[in-house]
């Protein structure tokens, strides 16, 4: 069983790390500003599931195995970068029109969130280094890693959902046509920012 103090320290450290805006947050906010809270929360669901899969791999001891196949990580990364860049360019090139932004299917939104998380396979290495810092040598490591991974996902889900709700509120508050057009353009810029962020990070 984990010590409460250790678990609390882990929650605080995780929250501090997750709260810093990165590619996931950029895509969540972009989606919320353009399509509303529900769409942004669907992106959050996709990103959360992808991150859960990555943490499960780490907890199962596969991070080192996957890291050995650098070409696989590179393919995943650049596929995600290309997808986000395509979304960004599409938003910037879209013709202005009155009313709400064109609806996007939940499947596509979910895939966008998952692709954003998976496009950064370096998080496998990060979790492999971060989670063990809070593992006690007095107890089996496996169960502790899965507990820590679950807690991390809950913290990420909470904070990402908060970003989604705030972005959705922005869309509702800024409902005028010219503001909505600006929001869609801003959405495209944020998507390209996320793609650039991932493209410029070295896969060390």
Residue 13: alpha-carbon gap to chain centroid? 17
pTM of the model: 0.76
Q: How many CA atoms lie within 13 A of 102 on its CB side?
A: 9
Average pLDDT over residues 88-96: 73
Q: Is residue 174 predicted with pLDDT exceeding 60?
A: no
Task: Name the H helices within the chain.
Answer: 4-19, 23-35, 37-59, 63-68, 70-93, 106-118, 122-130, 141-173, 177-200
Average pLDDT over residues 185-197: 75
Q: How many residues are recorded in the chain?
A: 204
> Which of 59-68, 71-80, 131-140, 175-184 bottoms out in mean pLDDT, i.e. has the lowest?
175-184
Q: How far apart are CA 166 and CA 171, in angstroms?
A: 9
pLDDT for residue 162: 94
Q: Give residue 204's pLDDT band: very low, low, confident or very high (50, 70, 90).
A: very low
**Percent of the chain whose predicted confidence (pLDDT) is above 90:** 22
Average pLDDT over residues 82-105: 71
Q: Which residue has the higher pLDDT, 177 or 194?
A: 194
> Which of 103-112, 171-180, 185-194 bottoms out in mean pLDDT, i.e. has the lowest?
171-180
User: What backbone phi and psi angles, to 5 degrees, belong to 136?
Assistant: -85, 135
pLDDT for residue 57: 84
> Which of 19-23, 150-154, 187-191 bottoms out in mean pLDDT, i.e. has the lowest?
187-191
- Give domain limits for the chain: 23-200
């Amino acid at each position: 069983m984990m010590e409460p103090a250790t678990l609390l320290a882990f929650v605080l450290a995780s929250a501090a790390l997750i709260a810093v805006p990165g590619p996931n947050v950029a895509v969540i906010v972009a989606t919320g500003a353009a399509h509303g809270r529900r769409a942004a929360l669907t992106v959050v669901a996709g990103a959360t599931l992808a991150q859960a899969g990555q943490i499960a791999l780490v907890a199962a001891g596969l991070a080192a195995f996957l890291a050995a196949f650098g070409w696989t990580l590179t393919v995943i990364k650049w596929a995600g970068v290309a997808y986000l860049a395509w979304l960004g360019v599409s938003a910037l090139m879209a013709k202005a029109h009155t009313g709400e932004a064109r609806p996007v299917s939940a499947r596509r939104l979910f895939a966008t969130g998952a692709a954003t998380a998976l496009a950064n396979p370096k998080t496998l290495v990060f979790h492999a280094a971060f989670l063990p810092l809070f593992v006690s040598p007095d107890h089996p490591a496996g169960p502790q890693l899965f507990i820590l991974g679950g807690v991390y996902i809950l913290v990420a889900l909470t904070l990402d959902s908060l970003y989604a709700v705030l972005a959705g509120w922005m869309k509702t508050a800024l409902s005028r046509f010219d503001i909505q057009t600006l929001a869609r353009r801003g959405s495209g810029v944020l998507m390209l920012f996320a793609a650039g962020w991932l493209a410029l990070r070295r896969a060390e």
